[in-house]
Amino acid sequence: MAATFPALIQPRLLAALQASSVADLLPDGFMPSVDPAQNPQFGDYQTNAAMVLAKQAKKNPRELAAEIVEKFESDNLTETPEIAGPGFINFRLKKEVLEQRTLDLLADSDRLGVDKVADPKKIVIDFSAPNVAKPMHVGHIRGTIIGDSLSRVADFLGHEIISDNHIGDWGTQFGMILYGWKNVLDEKALEADPVPELLRVYKAINQLCEDEPELRETCKAELVKLQSGDEENLKIWEKCVEVSKIGLQKIYDKLDITFDHWLGESFYNDKLQPLVDDLLERKIATESDGAVCIFFPDHKKLADQPPAIIQKGDGGFLYATTDLATIDYRIKEFGADTLWYVVGIPQQLHFDQLFEASRMIGNDVELQFIPFGSILGKDRKMFKTRDGDTVQLDDVLNESVARAYKIVDEKNPDFPEEEKQEIARTIGIGAVKYSELSQFRLTDYIFDWDNMLALKGNTAPYLLNAYVRTRAIFRKMGSDFEGTDVITLTEAAETTLALKLAQYAEIVPMILSDFRPNTLATYIYELATTYHKFWEACPVLKADGDVKATRLALCELTGRVLKHALSLLGIQTTEKM
């Protein structure tokens, strides 16, 4: 595939700058920026280079812009650039260029114009990571959906991506679980549906501990027994982990999410003591008040914070110890050069310390903390159920599908039952994912069923409906898209759509620059509205000849890009709705 339009304009613009009176001001390796035009009336792309350089040279920006335009050799890529406002230079692509690009995109059905990165990395992505026998709550919803989308994008861009679900399967919660298992477990309920029963047990003991704080010691004793290898407790623990994994897997299946590995915290148990010993020996860790700690006296941000504790006075290890062992494993066993952690913002300090400790250890690896904010209820407080309980991901999914079913059933009462259910599933799951991914990850967003499932606006149902529309044309015509050798863009709505389609190649690589799937969501929404305008302005089946062929091609290509872009968000499409 040819380069993106900004990448084609840039060298031509650079040559013009080098031939201009500000040539001396250009630093080595300089590349002027070229962005989509803010106002499409003036052009397709724009640059502010003349304004930036005029300021440095103390020149009149519009005059400098005129000089640059004069020197600009378009080489049949664009019309003569135009100057707008305080000194923007606007570029409009030649119609033939956009027509040829549309043909190229039609032929490039796998990549739709998106190039692979030049420097693929080997990335381990750590996301979701719920805690066994504790509810997978809304905080985990965000990480699970964002992490999955980032994996899909990185994979498509040619990185080697290894997903690892670092579940919390060795936490202090097992003290209460073990005590509960021995005292309040309902075996029948466990057999019927283990995850809710484990949760009930956990909550029941948690409550008991509130009422009788002495019980905490008993629970702690169970935990210590487990940690020192007591056979009975190990068996119960194993069983808990096993049934929890099965329960989690069911949720991931609903979400169409898979992991390459599930190396939970317990996987690292036997690696912790050797790690601590080594760090002590290398003087990276020190003993302090009986505990083993890592101090960060030379670190600007961390120096004033408490140290990272990696072994308690009683010999127990901590979250940070496991994470240090995990980094080591991922580098040595997976050969990773990059580690991504998609975890909530409250863990910022933990990851700052972890990354700094890793640097002190001398690990050669790029570490990225990719945090996210919270989900709020309509009252702008933490999202809770009506009874004030934490909201569970599985319940959210089920309710979303049930609500989507109502919409599908109202619109298409005559669809076969199975089809209605299938469509409801696609819309319901897609709506949960899209309401997450259309937000910037650090924004605290308000969970609102009505907004999520609305048929109009920036929602999954609206986007899925746009896709359905691209498909409906071919159903009406009675045949699939048959290809075309000619594209002739005659109407403005066609040109705008063709340009938008070509810009998919510009958007996808941008997602990873700051880990923002919402950049892609915005693009999909804009593509859908652009298509909608085209659809209203340009009759397809009633047109003839090349015009009809062009319009069919634009419908086909829009369908392909919508489907592909949604798939990068982990959202499936439906042919009808």
Q: Which residues bind ligand ARG (CB under 6 A)?
A: 126, 129-131, 166, 168, 323, 326, 341, 343
Q: Which is nearer to ligand ARG, 139 or 559 (CB)?
A: 139
* Minimum distance, C-beta of residue 140 to ligand ARG, in the bound complex (Å): 7
Residue nearer to ligand ARG on the CB measure, 444 or 491: 444
H or E element: which one contains 15? helix 5-18
By C-beta, is 265 or 506 nearer to ligand ARG?
265
Largest CA distance in the chain: 85
Residue 441 or 551: the one with the smaller Cβ distance to ligand ARG is 441
What's the min distance (Å) between Cβ of 28 and ligand ARG?
41
Closer Cβ to ligand ARG, 325 or 396, answer by number: 325
Residue 256: closest CA among 577, 575, 573: 573
- Measured from the CB atom, the residue of 168 and 570 that comes closer to ligand ARG is 168
Tell me how far, at minimum, the Cβ of 129 lies from ligand ARG, in Å: 4
How many angstroms separate the Cα of 243 from the Cα of each of 190, 196, 198? 9, 11, 9
Q: Which is nearer to ligand ARG, 326 or 458 (CB)?
A: 326
Q: For residues 432 and 551, what is the distance between their CA atoms, to the nearest angstrom?
A: 33
Tell me the pairing of strands 122-126 and 286-288.
unpaired
How many other CB atoms are there within 10 angstroms of residue 543's CB atom? 15
Q: How far apart, in Å, are the Cα atoms of 121 and each of 164, 367, 514?
A: 16, 12, 16
CB atoms within 10 A of CB 268: 21
Query: What are 311's strand-pairing partners?
Result: 292, 317
Q: Provide the minimum distance between the beta carbon of 501 and ligand ARG in the complex, in angstroms, as a whole number.
A: 38
CB atoms within 10 A of CB 548: 16
Identify whether the C-beta of residue 279 lies closer than 8 Å to the C-beta of residue 361. yes
Give the Cβ contact number of residue 394 at 10 Å.
17
Give the number of other Cβ atoms within 10 Å of residue 76's Cβ. 8
What are the backbone angles phi and psi of residue 384, rounded to the nearest 5°? -135, 165
* Nearer to ligand ARG among residue 173 and residue 503 (C-beta): 173
Nearer to ligand ARG, 71 or 245 (CB): 245
Q: Are 219 and 178 in contact (CB under 8 A)?
A: yes
Q: Tell me the backbone φ, ψ of residue 527, rounded to 5 degrees.
A: -60, -45
Beta carbon of residue 166, minimum distance to ligand ARG (angstroms, whole number): 4
Could you tell me the smallest distance in angstroms from the CB atom of residue 142 to ligand ARG? 12
Minimum distance of ligand ARG from residue 68's CB (angstroms): 50
Q: Quote the least distance from Cβ 59 to ligand ARG, whole Å.
A: 53
Q: How far is the CB of 173 from ligand ARG (least distance, A)?
A: 11
As a whole number of Å, the CA-based R_g of the chain is 28
